Structure 1
Amino acid sequence: MADNEAAPELLERAPTQIFLGRVALQRDRLLAAGAAADRVADEIPAFGHVTRAALKAALRETDQALAELAERIDRRGLTDTRLERFAMLRTATDRVVGECFALAAGVLTRKAGLDGDACREADEFIAELASLINPSLARPTVPGEEEFLHRGVDVIRRRLPDNGVWDLAVMAHEFGHVLVAHHQRWDTTNDAKIDMQSMVEEGWAAYPRAPSEELFCDAFATFVLGPAYAAALVLHRLDPAEQTAPASSGTHPPDAARAVVVLEALGRLAVEETSETRVPLLHQYLTAAWASLQAQSPASLRLSDDDHLSLTMRTRRAHNDLARWLEPAQFHWPSMTIQEVRKHLEGQQPTAGSAPRATIREVLNAAWLSRVEAWQTNCGLAEGLETRAREAICRTAQRNE
C-alpha cells in the first residue's frame, strides 16, 4: 500500500528527474569535448595559442547556462519556458561540441600529414598577408569540408582535398573575414577607432549582411592578391549557371554577383598598372572568359543591369577605401620578379639555387600567369610547375622563420 501511495508523488517528480538527467548528459558531452580540445591544443602552437581560450570560454559559458537551468528545474520544476531553454542549450551544446571535435580532427589530420602540408602553406600565406596590415591578425588553418572562418574560435578551415596551389588564393578571402572581425583603423578627424563593419553593411546591392560580407571579402582578396585570386574564382570556382536570385536565408551571394565584384576589383588594379605588368591583359582575359561562360547559360541567370551597376559602383568605392586605409597591402605587379619566378616555375631555371626570391603572392601570380597563357596558346602546362610552385612557397616560408 505504501508503494501505491508513493506512486503519484514519484510520477509528479518524474519529468523533473528526467530532464535533470538530460541536462547532466549535455554537461558530460561538454566535459568530453573540452578534454579532446586540451589533448590536441599543444600539437600545433598557433592552434593552441589562438583557440584554447575561445574554446574554453564557449564550453564554460554553455556549461554554466546548463547548470543554472538544472538548478531552476530542480527547485521549481518544469515549465514551457524551461523546456524551450533546454532545447536552445542542447543546440548550443551540439554546436560547441561539434566544433571542438571538428577542430581536434583537423589538428590530428595536420599532425599525421594527411593534408599534404596544404594547411602549413595556407598558414604561411595568411601570415604573409597579415604582415602587410597587422601581424597579430594571422590565424591558423585546419582541414575542413569547405573554406570558412569559424568566428567562435578564430580558426580558418581549408577545403581538402582541393586543387592545391591553384586554390591557395582562396585563403585571401577567408583572411578578409578575419579583417572584418578584428581590424580597426584610426579616424584622426574624430579621434576614434573604426572597425571594418561599415564597409560590409551598406551598399552591396540588395543583399543582407552575410552575403555582403562575402562580396567585401572578394573585393579585399582581389585588392591584396590581384589576378591570382580573380583567376581562381573565375576559372575554377564560380558557376555561370547558378541562380542569380539569392535565397533569403543564404549566407553567400550568387556567383554572378561575385564575378562582377572580382572583375571590377581587378579592373581597378589594372587601371593603375601598365600593360607590361600583364594585369590589364589578365583582366581582359578573365572578363572575356566569364562572359563566354555565361553565354552558355540562359539570360535569366544573369544579373539585372541595375544590380550589375550597383555592385560595380560599390566595388569601386570599396577599392578606394581599401587603398586609403590599407595601402601597404595593395597588390602591385613587380614585372621582373614575376617573370623570373615564372621562368623558374616553367623549368627554365631548374635548380633551387637559381630560384628568385619571391613572396607567396608573387609565386601564385606567376603560376596563374603561366597557366592562363598556356590556355590562351593552347599549349600544355609546363610539367612540374605546381611542384616547383609549392617548393617556392616552402622556401619563402623558411626565409620568414
Structure 2
Amino acid sequence: MPWSMLQGRVEALRLNLERARDLSVRELALDHVPLEEGVWDAAFDAIRSDSVSRLWELEQLSTGIDRSPHPLHQRVAWQKLAAIQEQSEDIFRECLELMGGLTFRERDLDNQICTFADELINECARSVGRMLTTIAIPAHNGGRHAGARHIAHVQFPEWDVWTLPLVTFEYGQVAITDRPEIDAFARKSAIDVHHGLGADQDVIEERIRALLSDAFATYTLGPAYACALMLLRLDFVAPDPDCREFVAQRVAMVRGILARIADGDVADLHDKLGKHWDQALHLVLGTDPGAADPLERLALDPATVFDTFNWFFLPQAAYAVDDWDTAVQWGSRWCKELRDPKLSPAVPAVAPINRLRDALNASWYARIHEPAWVTEGADVTRELCQQIIDIRGRTRRPPGVELPGAIRPDP
C-alpha cells in the first residue's frame, strides 16, 4: 500500500509539472500587452526549464522506486519526493502569477499602471544601453526570481503614480546581473563582507544586490525613487532588529547616492527628505540616526557605488541636476495652480526629450511642497505620463539599435 501511494503521488506531480511546462510555452492572445520576444522568452522559458528539471528528477525517482531487486528505501523515496514537491510549488506559483498578471493587464484592471511601469523600465533599459527589458505585472509583492525572470511586480494595491518609481528597483536587479562588471562588483563585495563578518555569503550577496538595486533606482530615477521608498514603503518599526538594520542600510544607500547628485533644489529636497526620516525614526524608536554608519558592516560605500555606475553605464543613465530643472519647473507651476482657486492644475507641454522620470519627479516635488497634491495631482500626473508615452512612441528609434554613449536625449 505505501509504495502504490507513493507512485500515485509521483504520477500526480508529473502531470502537474507537465501542465506548467506546456502552459509556459503556450502563446497567449494578448491584444493590449506588448511583449518583446526576448522578454517573453526570459519569463516563460525559465519556468519551462525549471519544470523540465523537476520532471527529470521525478523520472529518476520513479526509476529508483521500480528498480529490482533493490528499490529505493521507502523513507528515502518519500524524502526525495517531498524535496521535488517543494521546488515544484515555486514553479506553480510563478506560473499562475505570471499568467494571471498578464490576463489582468489584458483586461486593463490595473488602470494602465503596468503600462506606465513598462515604459519606465524601458527608459531605464535604453539609458543604460540594454535593449532587453522586463514585463510588469500586478502582484501582491515581489517574487523571489523576478530579476532572473525579467519580471517586475507592481504591488497590489499600490497601483498609483506615487509608488510607480519603486518598479525601477526590480529592473535594477536585472541591470546589475546583466552588466558583467557590476555583477562581479556585487560578488566581490559579498566575498569581502563574508570574510570580514563570517556570515552566510548567499545572504550577504542577496542583501548587497538589493542595496545596489536601490542605488541603481536612485541613480537612474532621481529623487522620485527616494521619496517613494522612504516615505511610502520602508518599515522602520519592523519587530525584527535585523530587518530594521537592513532598512537603515537601504536608506543610507539611497541618501548617499542622492547626495552625489544633490545641488541647488535637489540638495534642498535631499535635506527635507532626510529630516522627515530622521524625525520619524527618533520619535518612534527613540534612536539617534547619526549614532553609527549602518553600511559600515557591509563595507559598501555609496560614493564608490556611484562612481562604479558612472564608469560602466552610459552617460545618459545618471539622473543629473539638469534633469531636476524640468521637475522644478513643472512642479512649481503645479504648486502655484493648486494655491490659486481660479486655476486648475494643467498638463505641461511635452517634448520628445521628456521622460516619465521627469513627470514623476515633478509630481513628487509638488507633493513635498504642497501635501494637497497627493489627491489633486494623481490624475494630472497620469495624463502627463500618457502624453509622454504617446509622443515618444512617435519618435523612438527602432528596437535592436544599440545606443551610442552620447549625452542624454533620445534614450
TM-score, structure 1 length as denominator? 0.82
Using the TM superposition, name which of 80-89 and 311-320 deviates more: 311-320
Q: Counterparts in 2 of 1:204-283, with a 5 A limit?
A: 208-243=204-239, 245-246=241-242, 254-270=246-262, 273=263, 275=264, 278-283=265-270
Which structure ranks higher in relative contact order (CA pairs < 8 Å, sequence separation ≥ 6)?
2
Q: Counterparts in 2 of 1:1-12, with a 5 A limit?
A: none
2:169: which partner in 1? 173
Q: Deviations over 1:18-42 (max 9, x none)?
A: 2222111001111222344345645
The answer as to 2:118 corresponding to 1:126 is no
Q: Which amino acid aligns with 2:306?
A: H
Counterpart CA distance in 2 for 1:137 and 1:303 is 41
1:162: which partner in 2? 158
The answer as to 2:386 corresponding to 1:394 is yes
Q: Counterparts in 2 of 1:362-377, with a 5 A limit?
A: 362-375=358-371
Which among 281, 290, 293 is matched to residue 277 of structure 2? 290
Closer, same or farther: CA 123–32 of 1 in aligned 2, 3 Å: same
Counterpart CA distance in 2 for 1:150 and 1:354 is 36
1:325: which partner in 2? 312
Write out the 4+ residue segments of structure 1 that deviate beyond 4 Å after TM superposition: 38-42, 193-196, 199-207, 300-304, 308-313, 343-353
TM-score, structure 2 length as denominator? 0.80
1:8: which partner in 2? none
Counterpart CA distance in 2 for 1:224 and 1:390 is 20
Q: Structure 2: any 5+ residue segments left out of the alignment? A: 198-202, 338-342, 394-411
Q: CA deviation at 1:117?
A: 1.0
Counterpart CA distance in 2 for 1:37 and 1:336 is 45
Are 1:200 and 1:213, in contact at CA under 8 Å, matched by a contact in 2? no
Q: Which amino acid aligns with 1:176?
A: G
Counterpart CA distance in 1 for 2:6 and 2:375 is 63
Counterpart CA distance in 1 for 2:300 and 2:93 is 40
Q: CA deviation at 1:105?
A: 1.0
Identity %: 22
| Corresponding residue pairs, total | 369
Q: Which amino acid aligns with 1:390?
A: R
Counterpart CA distance in 2 for 1:57 and 1:394 is 37
1:22: which partner in 2? 9
Larger radius of gyration: 1
Using the TM superposition, name which of 116-125 and 213-222 deviates more: 213-222
Counterpart CA distance in 1 for 2:376 and 2:219 is 29
Are 2:134 and 2:150, in contact at CA under 8 Å, matched by a contact in 1? yes
Q: Structure 1: any 5+ residue segments left out of the alignment? A: 1-13, 187-192
1:52: which partner in 2? 44
Q: CA deviation at 1:101?
A: 1.1
Q: Deviations over 1:33-67 (max 9, x none)?
A: 23443456452424634322222211111112111
